[in-house]
Chain A
């Protein structure tokens, strides 16, 4: 596969791994948070950790859109599908996330609710056109990457006067979450979570550019390297972070220059600000209420806002107490620190959201990395 295999080349990987091992100071450790679930997935899927020296650690961040959606919003989606009788269109991963009392959209569907998996907002619009006698709601989730397509859908719905279509908007913002993590007591005061730098988001940065991270680099004195999602991108970015730390620099560097520019995609940004505005505060699973961290639909498009169209009830939400998703999303705990991990909670029967999405830290640990904690008997004998 041209343009892909080049970024997974073993020979190059060994060269970069050699450089990291040579330059990483054996007297200290390095903790880098990969904000994006896409990076978490790549690190585990390709076994990048195996090519790192023992003192370079990855701290998994909250950048998995499915994982950070609070249970209350998921319960709202279930309510839309069950009580309001709409056709609820959702991205596939959202179907299996358990809400209050383990109620998920897939269970609601099994009980007769009309929940449909879509691959894009255009599929949802198509369903709305083909079912003009039904209300069709698009369950919009995700970071800055998935926001422009939702904006396009809203504009198309307005142009077509697609009165039976609306959007349940849950779009969230990356910089606000990074800022919140850096200001949290675990990172700032208590030092429970050690972060020496960030692997910056790939696709999110293609939209917002590298400029929004400059504030963190300066204010919190943490280096940021924007990294592509391929394993060699991740490794090269780790090398760049190690060099910044060693040299005492804290700059925003861009490893992913083939896609990301400083200013980002201005057209997409304009589109998003035309359709959406900031929410004063939004609840994140794991992070709690984060000010100005999410988007809502502007008044000009209020007619397509599912929150306004359907009177959603205020719910008492309940999460499984022993589920450590909230701490895992903040980097405070590792999946293996959770009592439920691999016992009650597996990808087949997820209790928390981090076990559902392939970008979730628990799912990545379990599906790709669990041999690290369960060494085969043959290896145990060899040691």
Chain B
């Protein structure tokens, strides 16, 4: 049973047929679609208000808002699907600010001809992901484009979260001497997607790591309120994320190849395809940077959490006016860890 099938176990009678232009035309068909698919599965008090927008409660603290568009191909992949990914991706973007995610919005762009049963499967998965995370989808929108002008379904989600007064997490906060920690193995999501691509089908047990990280983040901040930077290494992988932080903080980094956790199956797939696991996307991992003195406490908290079991300290921030990220190779040499040029894998999130 795939992860999506498991999510589907709660589903009732399937919706039949295909999306047509009337589903986006504002008439009866659209109202039916919203009622029978979106409202039915997302089902919460905010949506039940039935208005054009959701009236949200009062919040104490600074607000954080993040948005993410999802266009992954294939729509269903080992370990997840576009629906769950759209929830996890935005929750994680809010969480990486150190905030507690409160609400999500979701917009769907559907292609004429797309199977309504597949749409329902995606929405069920998305609703379950939102429920599991405790972050409801409170408002949404649907548009339909003509056949050939989309690719099945695109989902855009926006999240709002609240930040504790003492939290100060930013990509510009890394300082020389700080420790760099990752929450788990690198490259699982990208390789899982790659294994299902039309022209590259290969057998692997790898599943996407798509998961929400806000509870892990809350545990980390409770144990080490001084965490300076958090970011999820999605597109472009660890190398892009470290380079972004290095540039923002105007500091260099040195990491150790031997300390970066990579599953043997992911390493093998990358070896075969000529890819670098450091450049491969993750959807349920984070990079954290903290004072060296806090590193062991933080690491212990992460390793004790189910979403950070394989966490590891992988290197340090150093003073470097060129803001280069370098890596001590397993062999004992040194090299730059660069961002990838252009696209390595198309449409992975």
Contacts and interface: CB of A to CB of B under 8 A. Distances in A.
Given A1-B264, A347-B341, A371 B331 contact: no
Contacts of B322: 371, 374, 376-377
B267 interface: yes
Interface stretch (A45-53, A254-262, A291-299): A45-53
Contact of B342 (A45, A48, A96): A96
Nearest to B340: A347
Q: Is the interface of B mostly helix, strand, loop or mixed?
A: loop
B270 to A, nearest CB: 10
Interface string A116-130: 001100010000000
Contact of A367 (B321, B331, B338, B342): B338
A346 B341 CA distance: 9
A377 B319 contact: yes
Given A50-B333, A376-B252, A371 B324 contact: yes
B81 to A, nearest CB: 25
Contacts of B341: 346-348, 350, 363, 367
Nearest to B320: A376
B332 A47 contact: yes
Given A119-B200, A123-B199, A347-B341, A377 B336 contact: no
B335 interface: yes
Contact of A369 (B252, B321, B336): B336
B338 A378 contact: no
A84 interface: no
Nearest to B197: A119
A1 B320 CA distance: 34
B222 interface: no
A55 B304 CA distance: 50
A368 interface: yes
Given A118-B199, A371-B324, A50 B264 contact: no
A120 B300 CA distance: 46
Interface string B58-70: 0000000000000
Contacts of A377: 319-322
A51 B264 CA distance: 26
Interface in A1-53: 1, 4-5, 8-10, 13-14, 17, 44-51
Nearest to B318: A378
B32 interface: no
A51 B329 CA distance: 11
B332 A45 contact: no
Contact of A371 (B200, B264, B319, B326): B326
B199 A368 contact: no
B330 interface: yes
A369 B332 contact: no
Q: Is the interface of A mostly helix, strand, loop or mixed?
A: helix
B331 A48 contact: yes
A79 B199 CA distance: 26
B48 interface: no
Contacts of A350: 341
Given A368-B338, A378-B320, A10 B252 contact: no
A119 B322 CA distance: 36
B324 A374 contact: yes
B142 to A, nearest CB: 30
A273 to B, nearest CB: 29
B267 A1 contact: yes
B271 interface: yes
Nearest to A376: B320
B336 A370 contact: yes
Nearest to A231: B331
Interface of B: 176, 199-200, 252, 264, 267-268, 271, 274, 318-322, 324, 326, 329-336, 338, 341-342
Query: What are the 3 closest A-B residue pairs judged by CB atoms, nearest first?
Result: A47-B333, A347-B341, A376-B320
10 contacts: A46-B329, A46-B335, A47-B331, A347-B342, A358-B274, A370-B336, A376-B252, A377-B321, A377-B322, A378-B320
